[in-house]
């Protein structure tokens, strides 16, 4: 390893960070996970990424790839291996003004993208946190504030520049390497390092965004009424419900409905939002017109010693009443996890299930539970959490890769239905037969 690392060092165009370096402690960890890699490579160009991939493949060490570093499962770091940090590749450029095609570097974050695009009057259907990386979110889905109108982030991807396991650079689109392009849209980081994403943006105005809150005692009726309304609401409206937050009261915490109405007309916004306000007793309402970039939250890393454990699944239309009943009962109990339920449907459901490697197209809702605390608290909460998911199992389907803290075979099977997984295996065998890119919900070649 030492000899090959010295060879890499002589021609590497970015930062090469080893244990003992002043910046190693920060460079070795991702947002949610501490690591101890043998070396962190932060290339400044695609050629640097190629060199890093060839070095990792030749070293025999495990390889982690970091975009924003927000993966709950800690994919952005490791112990004793190689980390390629894409933070040096973060440009955002409008490359086709007529079609609103935007080229985004693989290390960019959504807050940066939103700020750049706001100057052009454009937006991309993306996530809801500024510091989340474009790469990880896009490759596994992208359920954000415009998902019902413009689909998943990956539905807006039209091409990608990819460094594959042999260090080659290929372009993937509907016309070039179409099998790889299919796999990238939902297959995560299994097939290479995407150094640039070509995404179609859309013209945007300011949007109505904020939170409408109800008392915890009205949880069951508000939750079911919200889901019933979203089924027929305008696709300009996307919404998430959160409840049972232990930091705001646990079972007594307010039921918070977060909304974005995609438009700046106050009358149309009121038509879309007033049915939500009528679901119960409104105790807070801060919905206001604001720039799209301001709808993204800052995002925070947990303090040392604090873990975040999250698990997700989908609910199709027939399963919604049972899923919401179980979640409401859970949220009203002591020691409930934080629960969030996101509306999907709309534009997401108009894409065929086999058109991309993201296959959960008919789901109306994506829901997740989250537990935050020191390891003893996490261990104490786990039996209860397992019990909740056992109750949900007959009604829930699949899992959303971006909201999973684990990546075992069961998780991977939930993310990828059998037919999807088998097709992904074929693509994996072609582009990464030695499974260099294994730090993900792994598709084995």
Residues in the chain: 445
Q: How far is CA 396 from the centre of its chain?
A: 19
The token pair at 378 is 């996490």
C-beta of residue 30 within 8 angstroms of C-beta of residue 73: no
C-alpha dihedral, 124 to 109 to 12 to 78, nearest 10°: -120
Residue 376: the pLDDT is 96
Residues 6+ apart with CB under 8 A from 284: 211, 212, 213, 254
pLDDT score at 345 = 96
Distances, alpha carbon 93 to alpha carbons 119, 153, 176, in Å: 12, 17, 22
| pLDDT (0 to 100) of residue 1 | 56
201 touches 146 (CB < 8 A): no
Would you state the pLDDT for residue 2? 65
Show me where the domains of the chain are located. Answer: 13-85, 92-203, 206-407
**CA angle, residues 406, 407, 411, in degrees to nearest 5:** 95
Q: How far apart are CA 438 and CA 314, in angstroms?
A: 25
Do 130 and 296 touch, CB atoms closer than 8 A? yes
**Cα-based distances in Å from 162 to 99, 195, 203, 275, 335:** 22, 6, 28, 45, 44
pLDDT of residue 159: 98
Is domain 13-85 annotated with CATH 3.30.43.10? yes
pLDDT, position 105: 98
pLDDT for 143: 97
Domain 92-203 has CATH 2.60.40.1510: no
User: Which residues are bridge partners to 378 per DSSP?
Assistant: none
3-state secondary structure of 80: coil
Q: Which residues of the chain have pLDDT under 70?
A: 1-3
Cα–Cα distance, 396 to 321 (Å, whole number): 11
Q: How high is the pLDDT of residue 116?
A: 98
Closest CA to 199 of 127, 266, 257, 260: 127
The CATH code of domain 206-407 reads: 3.40.462.20
Q: What's the CA gap between 395 and 313, in Å, rounded?
A: 10
Summarised one tens digit per residue, pLDDT across range 230-279 is 999 999 999 999 999 999 999 999 999 999 999 999 999 999 999 999 99
């Amino acid at each position: 390893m030492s000899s090959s690392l010295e060879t890499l060092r002589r021609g590497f165009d970015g930062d090469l960070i080893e244990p003992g370096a002043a910046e190693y402690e920060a460079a070795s960890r991702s947002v949610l996970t501490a690591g101890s890699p043998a070396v962190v490579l932060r290339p400044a160009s695609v050629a640097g990424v190629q060199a890093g991939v060839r070095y990792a493949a030749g070293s025999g060490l495990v390889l982690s790839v970091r975009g924003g570093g927000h993966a709950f499962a800690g994919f952005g770091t490791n112990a004793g291996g190689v980390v390629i940090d894409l933070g040096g590749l973060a440009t955002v450029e409008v490359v086709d003004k007529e079609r609103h095609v935007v080229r985004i570097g693989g290390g960019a974050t959504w807050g940066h993208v939103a700020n750049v695009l706001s100057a052009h009057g454009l937006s991309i259907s993306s996530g809801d946190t500024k510091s989340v990386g474009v790469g990880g979110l896009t490759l596994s889905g992208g359920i954000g504030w415009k998902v019902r109108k413009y689909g998943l982030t990956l539905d807006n991807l039209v091409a990608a520049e990819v460094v594959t396991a042999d260090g080659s650079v290929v372009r993937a689109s509907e016309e070039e390497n179409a099998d790889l392009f299919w796999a990238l849209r939902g297959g995560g980081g299994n097939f290479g390092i995407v150094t640039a994403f070509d995404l179609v943006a859309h013209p945007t105005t300011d949007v109505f965004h904020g939170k409408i809150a109800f008392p915890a005692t009205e949880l069951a009726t508000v939750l079911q009424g919200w889901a019933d309304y979203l089924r027929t609401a305008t696709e300009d409206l996307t919404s998430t419900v959160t409840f049972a937050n232990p930091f705001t009261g646990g079972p007594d915490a307010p039921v918070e409905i977060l909304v974005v109405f995609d438009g700046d007309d106050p009358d149309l916004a009121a038509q879309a939002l007033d049915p939500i306000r009528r679901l119960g007793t409104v105790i807070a309402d801060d919905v206001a017109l604001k720039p799209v970039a301001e709808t993204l939250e800052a995002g925070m890393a947990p303090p040392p010693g604090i873990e975040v454990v999250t698990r997700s699944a989908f609910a199709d239309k027939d399963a919604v009443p049972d899923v919401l009943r179980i979640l409401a009962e859970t949220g009203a109990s002591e020691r409930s996890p934080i629960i969030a339920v996101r509306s999907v449907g709309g534009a997401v459901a108009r894409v065929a299930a086999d058109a991309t490697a993201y296959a959960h197209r008919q789901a109306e809702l994506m829901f997740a539970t989250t537990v935050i605390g020191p390891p003893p608290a996490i261990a104490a909460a786990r039996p209860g959490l397992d019990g909740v998911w056992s109750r949900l199992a007959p009604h829930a389907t699949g899992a959303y890769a971006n909201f999973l803290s684990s990546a075992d075979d069961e998780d991977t099977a939930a993310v990828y239905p059998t037919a999807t997984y088998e097709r992904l295996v074929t693509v994996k065998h072609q582009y990464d037969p030695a499974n260099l890119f294994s730090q993900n919900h792994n598709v084995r070649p």
